[in-house]
């Protein structure tokens, strides 16, 4: 099970702020009364005063504005590579309370072609990142790895076939309702190369750009609106191995 970082961060903010508040209201006054002057604070209070402002700022930024993630798998190749560090806009689809994920301010809705971070229905404590393919009510079909949304074909334009001597994988541009993005698919489609289904109300159909190497809505179903985390919008660093040097060659917006 993944560590619940939002909950841990919330508790750190509450505990450090609580220690500071209780000491300020009760114990700090008693220390001054005994000596007539301000005495040195206990170590635990000093730590609380030092860490609370930092933790509070990080908590607010991470919960409501921006959150960094590292890409752990190849499911979004070629758009995102293993080791890419990305930024996620936490308010693009509305402001949500941390931990409970309750939406309190409605700002926007996911659009087809967005790259989105979310909690999948089968692993409700793990972040996933895929592309929004279907909106509520959309009819989604894949026929031999060709995508149709509401009966409209998403045209594909071949860029490269690899390896050149005996092609097994194709890199293509795909045009989804006027939004073009990179994708990869096997020359011979895998088990999820064919699919059909209608997106229920309040849900989204998510799919990886690495079509034959992605477990997504074709495997585990549609993503409820309440499980949305935010919109991935930029790569800010690439660091694939612990003992390698970070690279900034891939820095830029996510298409």
Residues known to be catalytic: 75, 130
Exposed, middle or buried: residue 248 (CB in 10 Å: 0-12, 13-18, 19+)? exposed
C-alpha dihedral sign at 233, 110, 221, 187: negative
Report how far residue 167's alpha carbon sits from residue 99's, in angstroms, rounded to the nearest whole number. 46
Q: Which of 228, 6, 202 is nearest to 115 (CA)?
A: 228
Q: Which of 108, 111, 69 is nearest to 91 (CA)?
A: 108
- Only one residue has tokens 């860029």, namely 159
Q: What are the phi and psi torsion angles at 71 (to 5°)?
A: -80, 120
- Only one residue has tokens 């509450």, namely 14
Beta carbons of 218 and 195 less than 8 angstroms apart: yes
């Amino acid at each position: 099970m993944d560590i619940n970082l939002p909950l841990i961060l919330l508790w750190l903010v509450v505990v450090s702020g609580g220690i500071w508040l209780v000491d300020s209201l009760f114990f700090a006054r008693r220390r001054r009364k005994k000596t007539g002057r301000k005495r040195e604070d206990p170590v635990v209070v000093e730590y609380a005063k030092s860490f609370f402002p930092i933790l509070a700022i990080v908590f607010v930024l991470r919960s409501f504005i921006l959150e960094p993630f590292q890409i752990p798998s190849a499911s979004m190749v070629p758009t995102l590579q293993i080791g890419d560090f990305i930024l996620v806009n936490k308010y693009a689809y509305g402001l949500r309370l941390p931990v409970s994920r309750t939406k309190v301010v409605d700002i926007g809705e996911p659009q087809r072609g967005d790259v989105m971070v979310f909690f999948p229905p089968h692993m409700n404590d793990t972040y996933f990142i895929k592309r929004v393919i279907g909106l509520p009510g959309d009819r989604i079909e894949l026929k031999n790895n060709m995508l149709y949304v509401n009966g409209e074909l998403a045209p594909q334009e071949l860029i490269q076939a690899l390896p050149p001597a005996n092609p097994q994988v194709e890199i293509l541009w795909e045009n989804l309702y006027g939004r073009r993005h990179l994708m990869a698919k096997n020359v011979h489609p895998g088990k999820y190369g064919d699919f059909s289904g209608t997106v229920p109300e309040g849900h989204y159909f998510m799919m990886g750009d690495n079509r034959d190497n992605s477990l997504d809505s074709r495997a585990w179903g549609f993503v409820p609106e309440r499980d949305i985390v935010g919109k991935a919008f930029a790569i800010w660093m690439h660091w694939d191995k612990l003992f390698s040097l970070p690279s900034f060659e891939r820095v830029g917006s996510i298409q």
